């Protein structure tokens, strides 16, 4: 355990990501949650979560492992992956989170699709930032929001992700601030 992880959100990349992506995710998280971040690889491989029938990775056991492996002082842990994630009831997911728990994951895999037939790397980065904040929002007990512009809105497609803003709606912001206050007042 590292003492300086206390009150920090740990970003745990699994594999290599462009520095621009890492920076954007890092900045987005700091802006949304107002907490310090620390980048620290935690899981070296996701082989244990590979489902050979589906040729995809089951995100739920990844969250369990991540939560167990994270330092005790870290408030939350976000894993960043580049593989195709699923949960059994869905064909794929952009990410998954433990509601009110410690761990969440987001993958770049499905968020890289070009919009309008042409590929904009900045757009893919923006989507990953939004979904990273969305999944972390769940770990702070936020549920899905009906407001299509709210970052906690559930998105089925990349187009849905592009449509929503990078902000929480007023309602979700109040809920998050209450939760942040509760957590950081140890
Ligand atoms: Zn969600
Ligand atoms: Zn909302």
φ/ψ of 68, rounded to 5, equals -70, -35
CATH architecture of 3-184: 3-Layer(aba) Sandwich (3.40)
Per-residue model confidence (pLDDT) at position 127? 95
Per-residue model confidence (pLDDT) at position 184? 78
Per-residue model confidence (pLDDT) at position 181? 93
Output the CA 168–ligand 2 centroid distance in Å.
5
Q: Rounded mean pLDDT of 94-98?
A: 97
Per domain, the residue ranges of the chain are 3-184
- Point out the ligand nearest to the CA of residue 146: 2
Output the CA 132–ligand 1 centroid distance in Å.
10
Give the residue with greater pLDDT, 26 vs 73.
Answer: 26
For the stretch 100-129, pLDDT in tens is: 999 999 999 999 866 656 667 788 999 999
Output the CA 181–ligand 2 centroid distance in Å.
18
Q: Residues with Cβ < 8 Å from 171, sequence gap 6 or more? A: 145, 147, 150
Q: What is the mean pLDDT of the chain?
A: 92
Q: For this structure, is 135 an active site residue?
A: yes
Whether residue 107 contacts residue 127, with contact meaning beta carbons closer than 8 Å, is answered with no
Q: What is the rounded distance in angstroms from the CA atom of residue 32 to the CA atom of residue 137?
A: 9
Q: What is the rounded distance in angstroms from the CA atom of residue 72 to the CA atom of residue 2?
A: 8
Is the pLDDT score of 90 beyond 50? yes
- Point out the ligand nearest to the CA of residue 137: 1
Output the CA 57–ligand 1 centroid distance in Å.
18
Q: Rounded mean pLDDT of 54-69?
A: 97
Per-residue model confidence (pLDDT) at position 149? 95
- Point out the ligand nearest to the CA of residue 154: 1
Query: Which residue of the set 96, 135, 167, 179 is catalytic?
Result: 135
Output the CA 141–ligand 2 centroid distance in Å.
12
């Amino acid at each position: 355990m590292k003492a300086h992880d206390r009150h920090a959100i740990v970003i745990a990349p699994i594999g290599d990501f462009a520095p621009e992506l890492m920076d954007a995710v890092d900045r987005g998280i700091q802006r949304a949650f107002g907490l310090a971040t620390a980048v620290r690889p935690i899981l070296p491989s996701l082989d244990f979560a590979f489902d050979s029938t589906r040729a995809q990775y089951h995100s739920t056991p990844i969250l369990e492992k991540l939560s167990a492996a994270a330092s005790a002082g870290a408030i939350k842990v976000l894993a960043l992956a580049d593989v195709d994630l699923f949960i059994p009831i869905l064909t794929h997911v952009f990410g998954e989170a433990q509601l009110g728990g410690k761990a969440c994951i987001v993958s770049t895999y499905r968020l890289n699709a070009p919009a309008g037939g042409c590929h904009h790397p900045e757009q893919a980065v923006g989507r990953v930032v939004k979904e990273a904040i969305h999944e972390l929002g769940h770990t702070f007990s936020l549920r899905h929001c009906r407001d299509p512009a709210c970052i906690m809105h559930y998105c089925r497609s990349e187009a849905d992700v592009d449509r929503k803003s990078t902000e929480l709606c007023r309602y979700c912001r109040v809920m998050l601030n209450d939760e942040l206050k509760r957590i950081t007042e140890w």
